[in-house]
């Protein structure tokens, strides 16, 4: 019973928050709503017995990604409303919902087949974090290392792109690109 | 009682909100926000399937998706700042140089 109440409460909160992100004209409001939505999504992970992923969601998304956005938004003027030239509203809404329904069917069709079998079932007596570590460091070790390299590359790319010749005026920067 | 369908429908709703944002928004920063929504919607779907089929691969995949999202933000925001310093605008129409 508690689960059901929590599910519907978190669903309403997340959908509301993400609706604000998509519809808001102010970039600062959109960012704050996105951070709130990320925290509420971690509630679903705790409901689904994925405690490690819930903590990672809070730490990485709300801690790292949103902080990065907040720092990035110092470069832009966020007090003004975002000016957007939005045309063809009806076509946009129709297309987006049609494609969403198609994607829903694409994803639901294989799940409703009965031949899904667990390759890595959760082990009795071990918690979520222990089992996740066992699988991550045996079967998915190569992918884990590749993700580490990818994060390193992304970090270097971010530093190089943002900090290069910060003191120059925009006119002098033609040689960067 | 909650079933897998509840979570998948929620995931689909969030995904359609994200797609709506991607199609509707013209500001590049807002487009980044919408992609974050898309990635999170997929994460919920993966974790729900992982729970209801008793298989932990879904959680591993959403773990990697979080890593991809983090690096996407680092590189994308760097490019965005560079483009803003160069052209003074983060509007999507300012990148449209070829008349297509």
At A7-48, the pLDDT tens digits run 999 999 999 999 999 888 888 889 999 999 999 999 999 998
Residue with tokens 């897998």: B4
* Structural domain boundaries enclosing A135: 129-168
pLDDT of residue A113: 61
Domain match, A75 and A11 both: yes
Q: Is A174 part of any domain?
A: no
Q: For residue range B32-59, list pLDDT tens digits in order.
A: 999 999 999 999 999 998 888 888 888 8
Q: Which residue has the higher pLDDT, A166 or A136?
A: A136
pLDDT of residue B98: 67
Residue from B63, B43, B66, B53 nearest A122 by CA: B53
A74 touching chain B per CB within 8 A? no
Q: Is A96 part of any domain?
A: no
Last residue of a domain, one of A83, A109, A142: A83
- Report chain A residues whose CB lies below 8 A from the CB of B26: 84-86
Residue from A48, A104, A109, A121 whose CB has the most chain B CBs within 10 Å, to mutate: A48
Mean pLDDT (chain A, rounded): 81
Alpha carbon separation from A29 to A8, A12, A166, B33, B55 (Å, rounded): 24, 18, 28, 12, 38
Q: Is A99 part of any domain?
A: no
Q: For residue range B72-84, list pLDDT tens digits in order.
A: 998 988 888 888 8
Last residue of a domain, one of A83, A115, A138: A83
- Report chain B residues whose CB lies below 8 A from the CB of A135: 56-57, 60
Q: What burial letters (b/e) apply to B54-87, b meaning 16+ CB within 10 Å? A: ebbbbbbbbbbebbebbbbbbbbbbebbbbbbee
- Report chain A residues whose CB lies below 8 A from the CB of B50: 48, 50
Mean pLDDT (chain B, rounded): 86
pLDDT of residue A42: 92
Q: For residue range A56-81, list pLDDT tens digits in order.
A: 999 988 888 888 888 888 777 666 66
User: CATH top-level class for B4-91?
Assistant: mainly alpha
Residue from B43, B42, B28, B41 nearest B73 by CA: B28
> Are A177 and B14 in contact (CB < 8 Å)?
no
Alpha carbon separation from A121 to A126, A150, B58 (Å, rounded): 11, 28, 11
């Amino acid at each position: 019973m508690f689960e059901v109440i929590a599910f519907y409460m978190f669903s309403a909160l997340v959908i509301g928050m993400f609706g604000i992100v998509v519809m808001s004209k102010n970039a600062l409001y959109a960012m704050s709503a996105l951070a709130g939505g990320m925290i509420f999504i971690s509630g679903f992970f705790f409901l689904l017995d994925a405690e490690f992923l819930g903590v990672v969601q809070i730490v990485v998304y709300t801690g790292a990604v949103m902080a990065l956005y907040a720092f990035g938004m110092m470069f832009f003027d966020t007090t003004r409303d975002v000016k957007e030239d939005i045309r063809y509203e009806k076509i946009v809404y129709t297309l987006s919902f049609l494609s969403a329904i198609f994607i829903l069917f694409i994803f639901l069709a294989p799940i409703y087949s009965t031949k899904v079998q667990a390759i890595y079932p959760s082990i009795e007596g071990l918690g979520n974090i222990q089992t996740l570590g066992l699988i991550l460091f045996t079967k998915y070790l190569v992918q884990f290392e590749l993700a580490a390299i990818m994060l390193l590359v992304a970090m270097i790319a971010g530093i190089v792109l943002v900090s290069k010749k910060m003191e120059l005026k925009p006119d002098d920067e033609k040689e960067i690109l | 009682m909650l079933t897998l369908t509840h979570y998948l429908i929620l995931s689909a709703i969030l995904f359609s909100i994200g797609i709506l944002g991607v199609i509707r928004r013209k500001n590049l920063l807002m487009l980044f926000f919408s992609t974050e929504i898309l990635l999170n919607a997929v994460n919920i779907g993966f974790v729900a399937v992982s729970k209801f089929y008793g298989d932990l691969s879904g959680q591993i995949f959403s773990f990697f998706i979080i890593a991809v999202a983090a690096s996407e933000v680092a590189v994308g925001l760097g490019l965005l700042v560079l483009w803003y310093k160069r052209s003074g605008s983060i509007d999507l129409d300012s990148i449209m140089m070829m008349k297509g």
